Structure 1
Amino acid sequence: MRVHLHNDVDSGLYLEMLLKIGDGCFDVDAEGYISLSRELCNLVESDVDLIAYVFPELQQNLCSDQSLCARAILAPRNEIVNRINTDILNEVEGEMKEYLSMDTIMATELSTSYPVEFLNSLELSGVPSHKLQLKLNVPIMLMRNLDAPRLCNGTKLRITKLGQNILGATISTGVGKGNSVIIPWIPIIPTDLPFQFKRVQFPSSLALLLL
């Protein structure tokens, strides 16, 4: 994890804590857990409280790239990402559009062993989900290099058009900041499975939540 200090004392303390944990110098209890003080974290009771704390006045700040690019929620598992993304999208005004990927097995003789429903259910690191739900003005992050150096893996954008087969967006970070671009469907073939399948989907995910 990279921590950008930006002359922020609190970020410096957080960085020191991460280094201690990584070096094994942080005290742990009998079960191996680390207790964090309230100087380093704020506890919340629910996902709703977490969203409100990280993204105050979300609707008003949707068009502020500076505000959104400075904030993110980190989650360890895809199911948590999908759950909180749904909660966040429900708070954003406007019509939601759903894009479903086209998943096919590469070896046709294995098609009966890996039905489409199973392929649709796969949630893999670095691969867009089968179901992508978006609204206008929400931030997204590219998951593939499309047009370096403007459109690279990790580039953040803001949705300006929800087409049938394309997404219109404005680049929020990097050398192309402020440029209007079009994001197409592309084929993506994961390489970390015992079989190969192809997912055709927009190479993006919501940038409000990071895995």
Structure 2
Amino acid sequence: MRLQHVESDEDLIDLKSFSEWIASIGDGTIGGLNDSNVVIDISDDLLSNASDDPIASIVNNMYPNFTSNVNENEYLQGRAILALTLDVVETVNECSGVSNHELKLKVGTLVMLLRNIDHSVGLCNGTRLVITRTGNHILEAKILTGSNAGHKILIPRMTLTPI
């Protein structure tokens, strides 16, 4: 994820430290090589207190008062839940009967682009959007992040073929 705009130098230092820590985990310099079973020490300030339902606890910590803030750009811009595997995504989304390869979007859905589509309008990897209208062959979305935040864009249906 790109570093987001922060308001103080202290926040920038904390964010840079956090991003370096995350990168170290990904590089295998912390916790060793990831063979799907790695132990990593996490500082207490990064942990949330889990209740009986840890997934609900994560969602509620990340998106408090979601229903009353779902239409607020500022509320959605700085929040994301990152998942390492499709199994975790399925658990967090509480999907029922939707295949992992099938993406069903509806108005109000938050999405993050994983491909560069059009740099000139800010549609690149990591851009966050909220779906505002759906059609048979096109999506309308409002950009939530970057210099084009607030602009509405149209994305045509695309066929993505794995390499």
What's the TM-score once normalised by structure 2's chain length?
Answer: 0.71
CA distance in 2, matches of 1:17, 1:148: 29
Task: Choose from 3, 15, 34 the match for 2:40.
Answer: 34
Q: Could you tell me the TM-score, scaled by structure 1's length?
A: 0.57
Q: Which residue of 2 aligns with 1:112?
A: none
- In the TM superposition, residue 133 of structure 1 has moved relative to its aligned partner by 2.6
2:150 aligned residue: 178
TM-superposed CA distance for 1:179, in Å, is 1.8
Residue 58 (structure 1) aligned to one of 49, 53, 66: 66
Given that residues 139 and 157 in structure 1 are in contact (C-alpha distance below 8 angstroms), is that contact kept between their aligned partners in structure 2?
A: yes
User: Is it true that 1:135 corresponds to 2:141 in the alignment?
Assistant: no
Q: 1:10 to 1:156 in 2, by over 3 A?
A: same
- Distance (Å, rounded) in 2 between the aligned partners of 1:132 and 1:32: 30
Match of 1:79, SS? helix
Q: What displacement does 1:165 show?
A: 2.3
Corresponding residue SS for 1:73: coil
Percent of aligned pairs sharing the same letter:
32
Matched to 1:52, the amino acid is: N
Q: Which moved more, 1:66-75 or 1:135-144?
A: 135-144
Give the total of aligned pairs: 149
* Pairing 1:79–2:87 present: yes
1:148 corresponds to 2:123: no
Q: Which has the higher contact order (CA 8 A, sep 6+)?
A: 1
Equivalent position SS for 1:182:
strand
Q: Do the aligned partners of 1:5 and 1:12 also contact (CA within 8 Å) in 2?
A: no
CA 1:134–1:15: 2 relative to 1, 3 Å: closer
Of 168, 193, 196, 2:140 maps to: 168
Cα distance change, pair 64–47 in 1 and its aligned pair in 2 (3 A): same
Amino acid at match of 1:186: M
Larger Cα-atom Rg:
1
Q: Is the 1:168–1:182 Cα contact (8 Å) retained in structure 2?
A: yes
SS of the counterpart of 1:161? strand
Partner Cα separation in structure 2 for residue 153 and residue 32 of structure 1: 28
Q: Give 1 or 2: higher strand fraction.
A: 1
